[in-house]
């Protein structure tokens, strides 16, 4: 589908205004869309119902965050318990995984690889959200949610590998060769 309205380098926003496609809020919106797509890609490979259901909830939350920001709070908003829910789900996966070593090499199963990829896109989206907050003064719940989301995806990846009997590869820290 095409409208030709964007041929001049502008795009419509949720509040009805038109902005240049390089505008920071459009860059943020595009990154949020990319994140949602990567989470969808990860979800399409997940074998575990709890992780799948949690990823679906995250995708809905990301749409609500987008609408919240793009309508300047006049549309749907992230649910009030969104950050608490992320923390509870992350803690649940942490309990399942057990002790975490810092510096886990991303990979293992295809599921964990896609979840780790989604985690890295989340971190970029978070950086852009923090930058956007400088000019747009976003609701603090959005910043908190974006900060917690990468932890959830990380623990999901570890849980996915553990459930499949795949041992994580750990990057040794500090460097054992320089330890005395």
Between 119-123, 136-140, 167-171, the lowest mean confidence (pLDDT) is in 167-171
Q: How many structural domains does the chain have?
A: 1
DSSP letter at 72 equals T
Mean pLDDT, the chain, integer: 87
Residue 95 lies in a domain: yes
- CA dist., res. 157 & res. 126, Å (int): 19
| Res. 144 pLDDT band, cuts 50 70 90 | very high
| Torsion sign across C-alpha atoms 19, 25, 27, 29 | negative
Domain extent for 91: 20-163
pLDDT of amino acid 44: 96
Per the CB < 8 A criterion, the answer to whether 104 and 113 are in contact is: no
Residue 4 lies in a domain: no
Residue 170 lies in a domain: no
Residue 37 lies in a domain: yes
pLDDT of amino acid 11: 58
pLDDT of amino acid 104: 86
| Res. 84 pLDDT band, cuts 50 70 90 | very high
* Residue 150 scores a pLDDT above 60: yes
Residue 9 lies in a domain: no
Q: Could you tell me the CATH number of the domain that includes residue 69?
A: 1.20.1200.10
Residue 13 lies in a domain: no
Residue 172 lies in a domain: no
Q: Find the mean pLDDT for residues 117-142.
A: 94
Rounded to 5 degrees, φ, ψ at 66 are -60, -45
pLDDT of amino acid 20: 53
Residue 41: count of CB within 10 angstroms of its CB: 12
Residue 46 lies in a domain: yes
pLDDT of amino acid 170: 81
Chain segment 47-62, per-residue pLDDT in tens: 999 999 999 999 999 9
Among the listed residues 60, 56, 70, 68, the one whose alpha carbon sits nearest the alpha carbon of residue 24: 70
């Amino acid at each position: 589908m095409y409208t030709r309205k964007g041929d001049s380098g502008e795009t419509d926003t949720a509040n009805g205004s038109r902005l240049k496609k390089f505008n920071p809020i459009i860059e943020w919106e595009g990154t949020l869309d990319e994140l949602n797509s990567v989470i969808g890609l990860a979800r399409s490979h997940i074998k575990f119902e709890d992780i799948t259901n949690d990823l679906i909830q995250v995708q809905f939350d990301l749409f609500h965050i987008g609408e919240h920001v793009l309508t300047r709070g006049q549309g749907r908003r992230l649910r009030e318990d969104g950050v608490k829910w992320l923390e509870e789900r992350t803690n649940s996966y942490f309990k399942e995984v057990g002790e975490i070593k810092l510096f886990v090499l991303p990979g293992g199963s295809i599921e964990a690889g896609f979840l780790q990829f989604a985690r890295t896109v989340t971190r970029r989206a978070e950086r852009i959200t923090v930058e956007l907050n400088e000019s747009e003064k976003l609701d603090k719940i959005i910043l908190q949610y974006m900060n917690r989301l990468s932890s959830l995806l990380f623990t999901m990846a570890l849980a996915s590998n553990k459930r499949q009997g795949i041992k994580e590869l750990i990057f040794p820290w500090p460097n054992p060769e320089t330890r005395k």
